[in-house]
Amino acid sequence: MDLKQISEMQIKLDQLHGFPVSFLDQHEKYAQLTKDLVGLFGEIGEFSNIVKKVNIKLDRPLEYELNITDSEKLLREELVDSLIYIIRIGAILGVDLEDEMLKKMQLNKSRYAQLRRE
Amino acid sequence: MDLKQISEMQIKLDQLHGFPVSFLDQHEKYAQLTKDLVGLFGEIGEFSNIVKKVNIKLDRPLEYELNITDSEKLLREELVDSLIYIIRIGAILGVDLEDEMLKKMQLNKSRYAQLRRE
Amino acid sequence: MDLKQISEMQIKLDQLHGFPVSFLDQHEKYAQLTKDLVGLFGEIGEFSNIVKKVNIKLDRPLEYELNITDSEKLLREELVDSLIYIIRIGAILGVDLEDEMLKKMQLNKSRYAQLRRE
Amino acid sequence: MDLKQISEMQIKLDQLHGFPVSFLDQHEKYAQLTKDLVGLFGEIGEFSNIVKKVNIKLDRPLEYELNITDSEKLLREELVDSLIYIIRIGAILGVDLEDEMLKKMQLNKSRYAQLRRE
């Protein structure tokens, strides 16, 4: 399943749940985008808290109790939640994330190719 | 092109450019993941700075000079850069983002279906 | 009590608890700074999650249950936790936050004064 | 100069510049707080981008050009800008940051004291 289809599924689900992705004017649109950005901060913050704990565990294995395998499961979940917000914000901005990623990767590829020639 | 293929392309590009996604031990892995998390913060911070400016422009249209159409172009670019970091971090954690997103969406769907029945 | 004294108290407490603020070399210093930055993100993420919920409550007062007074108490706590990380990071970088804030405020003051004259 | 005086100076400056810290209702208050949170993310994002570059420089000293002393100067500036947002948000929430920090430090002190006795 491609990124475009996943985005469309997610957006339909959001609309069902009452989260709008189309707006009457710019004020409404940016008010929603700002709220979703705060939502994204929240998810990345939760991800960060788990990374913080894993780093403490790796620094002080005997003093600090933590099961890293369990933590990784949580990290994966928070990362997916972050991705969902990125896709929502992309829908608000009308970004074709798949298309833009391919363009960006193409751009980076030629940049690096040039660097290797230098 | 599906999310899995995009991820694989991005990772190949990263490896070419010297950014590792496989590691000798957990210390190395989480040191890299922590650095990429800081990279993600940077991109979302740049995105946030543009959102901040658009919000000021919408609040004070006459006092503040900003072309919102230009800002949206930049927002799209920063969002894609954020997505690239999410995909990189997903690769480090060995997440199948496509698979996990579909699972999460399925889970959310049944949650909302239940809410509507209540 | 001034910001300098508060910073010094916080740092003593951190050292007692085993969090270093002086380092053998730049690698060690930036490894710790990077970890504390991740900690800061965690706190601001928790703050963001509460702001997100308050915003939902204000948008849909009847559908969503939340006591805003309780949420504000939590927001204050998370803000203080964020400030503690800022002070820790400032100690690692050897910033005199009080001094730098006064300088920055002086700078902003003259900037605005100039704007008002124009 | 204590944190309370610094906060009050900053707030007066903000009011002069047209950034409100008192509001007609909760909607207005949280709309402003949400915008300032986005501003805070912007500053921490800029800080993160500099940390990212310093980490690359430390990992690949010969390949990457960066003057770490210059970067530290920028880091200090971004940290102060972040602190200004924390103080602004504290003013919106009516937090006495100095008081709350002292309470939190007292709390942490007794927690650690207990840990050392165990």
DSSP D8-24: HHHHHHHHHTT--SS-S
Q: Is pLDDT above 90 for A69?
A: yes
Q: Is pLDDT above 60 for C107?
A: yes
Q: What integer pLDDT is reported at residue A52 of this predicted model?
A: 97
Q: What integer pLDDT is reported at residue C108 of this predicted model?
A: 79
Please give the share of chain B, as a percent, with pLDDT higher than 90: 58
Measured N-to-C along each axis, helices B68-92 and A68-92 cross at an angle, to the nearest 10 degrees, of 160
Confidence of residue A118 (pLDDT cuts 50, 70, 90): low
Domain that holds residue D94: 3-115
Q: What would the two tokens of residue B74 be?
A: 């930049």
Q: What integer pLDDT is reported at residue C117 of this predicted model?
A: 64
- Location of structure tokens 């960060």: A48
Span of A95-99, C4-8, C44-48, D88-92 with lowest mean pLDDT? C4-8
Q: What integer pLDDT is reported at residue C40 of this predicted model?
A: 98
The alpha-carbon gap from A72 to the nearest alpha carbon of chain D, in Å, equals 23
CB C50 within 8 A of CB A46: no
Q: What integer pLDDT is reported at residue A117 of this predicted model?
A: 64
Q: Which of A33, A38, A62 to mutate to test the interface with C (most CBs of C within 10 A)?
A: A38
Q: Which of B17, B23, B35, B38 to mutate to test the interface with D (most CBs of D within 10 A)?
A: B38
ipTM above 0.95, yes or no: no
Q: What integer pLDDT is reported at residue B114 of this predicted model?
A: 66
Q: By three-state DSSP, how is residue C2 classified?
A: strand
Q: What integer pLDDT is reported at residue C53 of this predicted model?
A: 97
Q: Where are the alpha helices (DSSP H) in chain B?
A: 3-16, 26-59, 68-92, 97-117
pLDDT tens profile B24-69: 999 999 999 999 999 999 999 999 999 999 999 999 999 889 999 9
Q: What integer pLDDT is reported at residue B14 of this predicted model?
A: 81
Q: Which of residues 8-67 of A touch D (CB under 8 A)?
A: 31, 34-35, 37-38, 41
Q: Is pLDDT above 80 for B116?
A: no
For residues C14 and A32, what is the distance between their CA atoms, to the nearest angstrom? Answer: 39
Q: Give mean pLDDT, residues C44-54.
A: 98
Q: Give mean pLDDT, residues C11-22.
A: 80
CB B55 within 8 A of CB D38: yes
Q: Is pLDDT above 80 for C20?
A: no
Q: Is pLDDT above 70 for A94?
A: yes
Closest Cα partner for D2 from D118, D105, D115, D101?
A: D101
Residues in B closer than 8 angstroms to D39, CB to CB, are 48, 52
The burial class, CB within 10 Å (0-12 / 13-18 / 19+), for B68 is: middle
Q: Give mean pLDDT, residues A38-54.
A: 98
Q: What integer pLDDT is reported at residue A41 of this predicted model?
A: 98
Cα distances from B109 to residues A17, C51, C108, D36, D40, in angstroms, run: 9, 25, 50, 33, 34
For residues D9 and C3, what is the distance between their CA atoms, to the nearest angstrom? Answer: 14
Q: Do A41 and C45 touch (CB under 8 A)?
A: yes
Cα distances from D79 to residues A46, D33, D51, D76, in angstroms, run: 22, 19, 12, 5
pLDDT tens profile C73-96: 999 999 999 999 999 999 999 998
Q: What is the DSSP letter of B65?
A: -
For residues D112 and D118, what is the distance between their CA atoms, to the nearest angstrom? Answer: 10
Q: Is pLDDT above 90 for D4?
A: no
Count of domains observed in chain C = 1
Q: Is pLDDT above 70 for A114?
A: no
The alpha-carbon gap from C48 to the nearest alpha carbon of chain D, in Å, equals 8
For residues A20 and A28, what is the distance between their CA atoms, to the nearest angstrom? Answer: 10
Residues in A closer than 8 angstroms to B13, CB to CB, are 105, 108-109, 112
Write out the DSSP string of A21-88.
SS-SSHHHHHHHHHHHHHHHHHHHHHHHHHHHHHHHHHH-TTTS---HHHHHHHHHHHHHHHHHHHHH
pTM: 0.92
Write out the DSSP string of C37-99.
HHHHHHHHHHHHHHHHHHHHHHH-TTTS---HHHHHHHHHHHHHHHHHHHHHHHHHTT--HHH
Amino acid (one-letter) located at C107 = L
Pairs from A72-77 (Cβ < 8 Å, separation ≥ 24):
A72/B93, A74/A50, A75/A47, A75/A50, A75/A51, A75/B93, A76/B90, A76/B93, A76/B95, A76/B100, A77/B100, A77/B104
Q: What integer pLDDT is reported at residue C116 of this predicted model?
A: 60
Residues in B closer than 8 angstroms to D42, CB to CB, are 45-46, 48-49, 52
Mean pLDDT of chain C: 89
Q: What integer pLDDT is reported at residue A115 of this predicted model?
A: 59
Q: What integer pLDDT is reported at residue C118 of this predicted model?
A: 53
Confidence of residue B102 (pLDDT cuts 50, 70, 90): confident
Q: What integer pLDDT is reported at residue C115 of this predicted model?
A: 59
pLDDT tens profile D14-73: 888 777 778 999 999 999 999 999 999 999 999 999 999 999 999 999 988 999 999 999
Q: Which residues contact D23 (CB under 8 A, 6 or more apart)?
A: D29, D32, D92
Q: What integer pLDDT is reported at residue D116 of this predicted model?
A: 60
CB A55 within 8 A of CB C35: yes
For residues D86 and D82, what is the distance between their CA atoms, to the nearest angstrom? Answer: 6
Q: What would the two tokens of residue A40 be?
A: 């994204």
Mean pLDDT of chain B: 89
Count CA within 13 A, CB hemisphere, residue B52.
18
For residues C40 and C46, what is the distance between their CA atoms, to the nearest angstrom? Answer: 10
Q: Do C27 and D58 touch (CB under 8 A)?
A: yes
φ and ψ at C62, to 5 degrees? -85, -30
Residues in D closer than 8 angstroms to C48, CB to CB, are 37
Q: By three-state DSSP, how is residue B2 classified?
A: strand
Q: Do D38 and B44 touch (CB under 8 A)?
A: no
D84: domain CATH number is 1.10.287.1080
Residue of A nearest to D115 (CA): A63
